[in-house]
Amino acid sequence: MEKTINFSKIQNMDDFYNELSNQMELPSHFGRNLDALSDVITGELSMPLTLNFENLDMDKYEEFMDLIDTLDEIPLELDGFEFNCFFTE
């Protein structure tokens, strides 16, 4: 499965979690925080899964830096998960 989050429509973490929830079947107990995101990806979602971020501009990078770092670490511990982040110029 491959999912793409278009950051041209996303301004903050609430927007991100809303879009992620729209695109993926997240459990009702999903906590909308980075620990919960890591837990749901590593323990509850079917693999293989590729998550792409597109149109993320550098002005928003600081807002989403912790999210990107969290997702960058997951492939190190989970086979079948791939994360790609495409920045706008």
C-alpha angle 29-74-43 in degrees, rounded to nearest 5: 35
Pick the CATH number of 2-87 from 3.30.450.20, 3.30.370.10, 3.40.190.10, 3.40.50.300: 3.30.370.10
CB atoms within 10 A of CB 28: 4
Residues of the chain with pLDDT under 50: none
Instruction: Please report which residue ranges of 6-81 form alpha helices under DSSP H.
Output: 13-23, 34-43, 58-77
**Residue ranges of domains in the chain:** 2-87
Question: What's the confidence (pLDDT) of residue 88?
Answer: 87
Q: Is the dihedral of CA 29, 47, 84, 65 positive or negative?
A: positive
Query: How confident is the model at residue 32, as a pLDDT?
Result: 94
Question: What is the reported pLDDT for 16?
Answer: 97
